[in-house]
């Protein structure tokens, strides 16, 4: 193809073409990546939520792409505006039999809420999940445990919205409904039961740790932290910070290292439940100083009190109502709630969506306010 003299000269004077080719390839790739970042944006860019004083390292970094990603449960959440009563309408308790809660609602709003609860809790089974496959005239019967439980859960939801406003609505009106926990499932995810000893190779204190469990958030920390603190009102605290303290573990109120490990287990659970780190509530330079905590610390304390009340006043007393298949596998105890039951990995359940706006009937134990 080429003259012989050219081929001869080319063979006698070889040129390294790989170096320039690699250089051009690297430069071209860099230009392509730069152009992509300019057009699409930095996919690994982070944003930090400052939780304490500047310069103390109290911030919670998150990927911007994650912050912008909506909770998929929000899009499928059912809601419907209420019917504002004109006055004089018949009440649900006057129309239907055995209406022990929500009896003061108008028929339209009562049925509207019943249909919403069906969608929130039993979208596949429908009304039959609580009332059974019977004629509507028999809906007043309490034959199924699901109806008895649902009635009590309505009361619990009203109590949360009314009595724990400082936790639920600390930043803005958010509220809770059945959907906050259930998300279209008969049984909410992230409930918990007592576990007892989880380490068969040990006894005593060692028997409740060093085994990966859901309650310990898949760590070797104690698996009875939720039971101790969110059910039995155990004291949340760590060991003494001073050396050579004149006290003994047998003394009442003395924080032992067992208490410390349980506390770490609970704190790890709370962090995972909300998708936050320790400095969301604590000052990293003074973890144990209550005067240097963030405002979120107080919100969390109210949340702990709220869960304790939910478990002891509403959930545990239903133990005799549930059938065996709904009870715990070890102690046959009632299902209980904790932070993750509502939050599901987000700082606020459903990312702070105002779920109560259309449901004033669930916002108070008194007469609902319609607007």
The answer to whether 267 is a known ligand-binding residue is yes
- Whether residues 120 and 214 share a domain: the answer is no
The answer to whether 127 is a known ligand-binding residue is yes
pLDDT at residue 160, as a whole number:
97
What is the rounded distance in angstroms from the CA atom of residue 9 to the CA atom of residue 27? 31
The answer to whether 244 is a known ligand-binding residue is no
The answer to whether 310 is a known ligand-binding residue is no
The answer to whether 1 is a known ligand-binding residue is no
Could you give the number of structural domains in the chain?
2
Range of the domain at 157: 73-185+355-371
Residue 21 lies in a domain: no
- Whether residues 255 and 335 share a domain: the answer is yes
The answer to whether 117 is a known ligand-binding residue is no
The answer to whether 342 is a known ligand-binding residue is yes
User: In angstroms, how far is the first alpha carbon of the chain from the final one?
Assistant: 89
- Whether residues 145 and 215 share a domain: the answer is no
Residue 138 lies in a domain: yes
- Whether residues 296 and 318 share a domain: the answer is yes
The answer to whether 114 is a known ligand-binding residue is yes
Residue 63 lies in a domain: no
- Whether residues 201 and 179 share a domain: the answer is no
CATH number at residue 90: 1.10.468.10
pLDDT at residue 22, as a whole number:
75
Q: What is the pLDDT of residues 58-89, one digit of tens each?
A: 777 777 666 678 899 999 999 999 999 998 99
The answer to whether 282 is a known ligand-binding residue is yes
Residue 59 lies in a domain: no
* 286 half-sphere exposure, CB direction, 13 A CA radius: 9
Helix (H) or strand (E) holding 178: helix 178-182
Helix (H) or strand (E) holding 5: helix 4-12
Residue ranges in the chain whose pLDDT is less than 50? none
Angstrom distances, CA of residue 45 to CA of 37, 61, 64, 67, 141: 11, 10, 6, 11, 57
Q: What is the pLDDT of residues 11-61, one digit of tens each?
A: 777 766 666 667 777 888 888 877 766 666 666 677 777 777 777 777 777
pLDDT at residue 184, as a whole number:
97
The answer to whether 167 is a known ligand-binding residue is yes
The answer to whether 178 is a known ligand-binding residue is yes
What is the rounded distance in angstroms from the CA atom of residue 332 to the CA atom of residue 335? 9
Cα dihedral 361, 365, 367, 371 sign:
negative
Residue 136 lies in a domain: yes
- Whether residues 329 and 367 share a domain: the answer is no
- Whether residues 209 and 324 share a domain: the answer is yes
- Whether residues 100 and 201 share a domain: the answer is no
Residue 174 lies in a domain: yes
- Whether residues 179 and 321 share a domain: the answer is no
- Whether residues 162 and 194 share a domain: the answer is no
- Whether residues 276 and 299 share a domain: the answer is yes
Residue 207 lies in a domain: yes
The answer to whether 58 is a known ligand-binding residue is no
pTM, rounded to two decimals: 0.84
- Whether residues 108 and 179 share a domain: the answer is yes
- pLDDT above 90 covers a percentage of the chain that reads 60
């Amino acid at each position: 193809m080429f003259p012989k003299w050219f081929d001869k000269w080319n063979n006698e004077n070889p040129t390294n073409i790989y170096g320039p080719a690699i250089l051009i390839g690297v430069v071209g790739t860099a230009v392509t990546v730069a152009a992509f970042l300019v057009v699409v944006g930095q996919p690994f860019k982070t944003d930090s939520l400052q939780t304490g004083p500047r310069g103390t390292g109290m911030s919670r970094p998150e990927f911007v792409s994650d912050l912008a990603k909506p909770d998929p449960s929000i899009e499928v959440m059912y809601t419907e505006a209420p019917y504002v009563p004109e006055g004089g309408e018949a009440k649900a308790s006057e129309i239907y039999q055995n209406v022990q809660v929500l009896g003061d609602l108008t028929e339209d709003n009562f049925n509207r809420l019943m249909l919403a609860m069906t969608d929130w809790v039993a979208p596949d089974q429908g009304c039959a999940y609580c009332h059974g496959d019977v004629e509507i005239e028999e809906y007043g019967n309490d034959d199924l445990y699901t109806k008895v439980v649902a009635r009590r859960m309505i009361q619990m939801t009203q109590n949360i919205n009314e009595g724990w406003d400082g936790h639920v609505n600390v930043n803005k009106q958010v509220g809770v409904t059945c959907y906050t926990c259930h998300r279209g499932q008969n049984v909410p995810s992230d409930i918990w039961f007592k576990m007892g000893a989880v380490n068969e190779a040990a006894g005593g204190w060692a028997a409740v740790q060093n085994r990966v469990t859901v309650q310990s958030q898949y760590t070797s920390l104690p698996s009875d932290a939720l039971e101790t603190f969110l059910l039995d009102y155990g004291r949340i605290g760590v060991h003494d910070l001073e050396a050579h303290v004149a006290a003994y573990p047998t003394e009442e109120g003395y924080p032992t290292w067992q208490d410390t490990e349980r506390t770490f287990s609970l704190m790890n659970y709370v962090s995972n439940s909300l998708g936050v780190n320790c400095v969301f509530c604590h000052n990293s330079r003074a973890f144990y100083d209550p005067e240097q905590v963030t405002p979120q610390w107080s919100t969390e304390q109210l949340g702990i009190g709220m869960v304790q009340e939910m478990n002891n006043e509403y959930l545990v007393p239903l133990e005799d109502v549930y059938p065996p298949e709904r009870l715990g596998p070890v102690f046959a105890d009632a299902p209980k709630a904790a932070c993750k039951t509502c939050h599901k990995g987000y700082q606020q359940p459903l990312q702070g969506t105002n779920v109560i706006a259309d449901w004033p009937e669930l916002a108070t134990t008194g007469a609902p306010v319609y607007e």
